[in-house]
Amino acid sequence: SPHPRLHTSLHMSSSSPPLRSLSELSASMDNSLLRELKKEETDLPQTTCREVTGAHYTLVQPEAVGKAWLVAGSEDVASMLGLDPNEFESEGFADLFGGRGLKEGMQAWATVYGCHHYGHWFGQLGDGRAMSIGEVVCPDGRRMELQLKGAGRTPYSRKFDGRAVLRSSVREFLASESLHHLGVPTTRALCVLGTDEVISRAWYPDTAEARASMGKKEGGSEDLRRIYPPHTPKREPGAVMCRVAPSFLRFAHLELFWRRGDMDSLKMMADHVIRREFSGVVTEGNYVGMFEEVVRRMGSLVAEWLRVGYVQGNMNSDNTALGGFTIDLGPFGIMEEFDPLWTPFTSDAERKFSFTQQPQAGAVNVKVLSEAIKALDKHVTGGKGEERLAEAAGGLYVDHFF
């Protein structure tokens, strides 16, 4: 093959359903989020940044690039989706997953959510450089959502360009697939497409120059931490990555509507979370049971991170998945030499998200989320689940971490 692919030992049995073409895959998409949640009703263009209230998502379109080409693809993920890996070589594949345009009948959307940093509320964020292009029902019955990262601006992009660079896209592709095969729950990556765009990013100066300017003999994250935020312009090749997960629903999706006092929108979102992430595990309307399952998965996930030396870097609530898997591999790293306070996140001066502090950071996220679920439980039942919520946010989290 002229393009790199991530090969695995996956073998399809003779009884496996036949693999689908790209057209068949796109025609079979079933977007439960669009059916079950509220769309923003607006005539404003998607590039107009704004506060979005009373809605869960906005319909968007990828902002087309001139050319796109395959950089890397995962045959394992393609087969999981029921997609013929030979489609990697097709022109239609590069057009769709490079953000050049959706196939007929497809819709793309960006969701609105909030963010707290260690309990401090930041307000509305949202899918600023990511847009979902469909939910696929896999041959094994699982539902997987496909999301393009770097395909352009949305109402939630704030002052940013909605694009991704090749460096970070390849890094996330390799790391997420590596974590999966190490047994750590994570989003997956179908492919990375290079584009003909050149993206300007603020970055750190050359490390040799940085060391000289600070009179340091040794470089690394400790030196870079002194010059945060990065301010040296760097022009990099653009890229679009397609990542795959059961959903991209985060703690912050629920927290936003709680913070706004929008209980109806919070309930709709919680109902959707139960159906998407906890079907067969949590019954409809059992919001306390949903929270308990979130806590179990969060405790187990952080333990898995420590097992392999992984540091998420940024553990804000918008980077924490309700489904209990690693999401948003941005300022992450794998610890090579043991350092209990090591972190690759150069803005984390207090090391709140460092290697051994990750369990505590997870506990803070669980505690804040419990307040949102407590408000929802009070709205629906008058507060009958308050005692169970308090226990889940404490003892249950610790039990599943250990």
- 172, two tokens: 């996330």
In Å, how far from its chain's centre is CA 374? 25
Q: Where does 16-148 have alpha helices with state H?
A: 22-27, 32-36, 75-81, 91-97
> Would you say the C-alpha torsion 326, 330, 334, 338 has a positive or negative sign?
negative
Tell me the C-alpha distance between 286 and 112, whole Å.
Answer: 24
**CA dist 232 to 47, 83, 215, 313, Å?**
26, 41, 19, 22
What is the enclosing helix (H) or strand (E) of 166? helix 166-181
DSSP 283: -
In the block, tokens 């041959």 appear at: 139
CB 191 within 8 A of CB 73: yes
- 6, two tokens: 């991530």
CB 249 within 8 A of CB 257: no
Tell me the C-alpha distance between 231 and 209, whole Å.
Answer: 14
Instruction: Indicate which residues carry an active-site annotation.
Output: 318
Q: Which residues of 189-226 are buried (b: 16+ CB within 10 A; e: fewer)?
A: bbbbbbbebebebeebbeeeebbeeeeeeeeeeebbee
Residue type, 307: R
CB 94 within 8 A of CB 70: yes
Tell me the C-alpha distance between 373 and 383, whole Å.
Answer: 10
Query: HSE on the CB side for 58, CA within 13 Å?
Result: 27
Cis peptide leading into 229, omega within 30 of 0? yes
Backbone angles phi, psi at 83, to 5 degrees: -100, 130
